[in-house]
Structure 1
Amino acid sequence: MLRGAVISIPLMKFYLVWANPATRRKSWSLGALALSLAAHLALAPAISGDWPEPARQATEMVTALLPLVLTWFVLDVFLDRPERQAIAGPAFGLAGIVALACLFDLGPWYVQALPMLLLYAGLIAVLMHSGRGDLVEGRRGFRVIFASLILVYAIGWRMIEILHLPGLPPPWMDTGHVAFLFVMMMVFAGRALEPGHDLWAEDAPRDPVPAADVVAADAMLVTRVRTAMEGELWRREGLTIGGMAEELGVPEHRLRKAINRDLGYRNFPAFVNGYRINAAKAALLAPENLDKTILEIAYDCGFASLAPFNKAFRALTGQSPRDYRRDRLENDAAVLA
């Protein structure tokens, strides 16, 4: 009965998220994760012992995809699009190696254990590092819980399973496994599905809250934020939400709320980079800057190096800074000819 509850809870969560058109896009990674977990639990001898071999092999294949779908879920739910694009290749590559090692039972135990440990440790690092600039309070708080679940289950329990001596596992292992997963599912459901939770919201910045709907104290803070950014605070290299809160003399949680709820941004680097890239676009075309290199303009706009500047510029314009400058200057020359 407990195993059936553990299988049904994530599938119900998927349905609830999918049923809402506003959150449907992000439901697919949750559904894939729920299906892979269900397959993992269904492989218990008490359930799959009498299955035909093709059915069992198909279930084992779905179970082996768990590292891939967990990676998809973390990137899809906790990261916004530019962050996802930056790490998707290496993350899915490593997850694919882990999935293949699990599916084909390649080599000794460490062939599975070491890539798996590296993958899950990497996912935890991604969750915690990306949380620094996260302005979505519900998502920011939940990422700590989810990282803890990965640490305890994916690393801890899975390592126990892999390192266990050959032979049948002791009876307590299967019961403890299912009980622990049940607790995880209840914690996840309780936090991720609470009314009004913004974990499943779309990535794109939304329109700012109308000024008439912003309370007076928050309106004053929004005005101070805009004034500071128009005063080119964004040029400060390495500007963080904590640094800006200190500059304005306000609690960090209030500043996060103002930028997220009242200005419509989900991520602090995206908020700052909007100002920086607008300035960079003007600087690239300014006649007095035609002798300046792309790197010099990147430094002027608050970027510490060329790589993050190129990435942020391409994310907002669809072009590299070099291509943007060349195309615009060629268009201007054609108009004047």
Structure 2
Amino acid sequence: MALLDDVNSELATINDDLPAAMVAQAAAMFQFGGGLRQTSSKQVVLFAQFDSLEAAKWLHNAIVNQFQHQAQEVAKRQPLHEQNGAKQPKFDAVIKSVRRKTPQGQIIQRYNVVVDHGAMGLAVWLGLYNPRIHRVVRGLPPEIVNGKIPQIKAAWRGAFMAHGRISDIGTAGYLEVICPTHEAALALQGAAHRLGISAKTRQVRSSERVTLRDPDAIERLLNLIGAPQSAREWTGKRTDGEPRGKTNRLANFDDANMRRSAKAAAEATEKVRNAFEILGDDIPPKLRAAGQLRLDHRDASLEELGRLADPPISKDAIAGRIRRLLQKAEKVQNARQQGL
């Protein structure tokens, strides 16, 4: 999916000046890309896998260049009695290229970011592990969920870079993130709501997903998480693709629609003409003017009739006047029949 590559490449160029936002993005990238793992040798590692090399490089750079410095500064600011002689934290991360073959025989390239030395410390630092209760966080850390809007945007950015999907040209529009747990899906859905975007959780086979299908919501989310160029590209593809997608449907129903419209216009014209004959001169000026417009422009839509009125009125107003004209004629006709 070329557009997905474009989105990931654009997002990978963002380096947020807010440290908390960088932490939120990295936490989401690990949570949705892999998480804490235990190797065959019982070693705990922090792991994330990406389709995009740029995404892997962003996370690697954040660990070795940003978080290392931040963690050391935090450690330095701790009172001596709280340090207990502990060494300043050190995180080591590597990028590993992995190739695998699909059941269809296609070779897929993946990029793993692996933290072995200091993995548990980094997981605690990112909020992915709660040391007080000795438990892995299954959703997004509370510091992110309840954080500021830049953190929410960064978390969505990280989740999408880790396991996001977006439709390309010629397909039904959607944007979704495959989630590792139900808790992660609910957290990401809540984060979308904080951005004013409606997202739905759904289960596809054995995976939880957060999905957007509204075109405007997808465009807005791409802009919010930092991919305005891709948002314009996707919108352009959607705009170009929609007429092509509708061509066959329009061709199939065009003749039928025209026949129905012509029939409805003929019936409406005949009803108005009959109302004029029944009412004679006893017609309020506004109702007469609306009926005359219907007679003079039998193929025009209600909206067009409203624009032709003097002064112009809405299509609801012109429809209401024609309806009252027909109702008045019906009452007069019924009264005459009862009088007979």
State if a TM-score over 0.5 links the two structures: no
Richer in strand (by share): 2
Query: TM-score, normalising length from structure 1?
Result: 0.24
Richer in helix (by share): 1
Larger Rg computed on CA atoms: 2
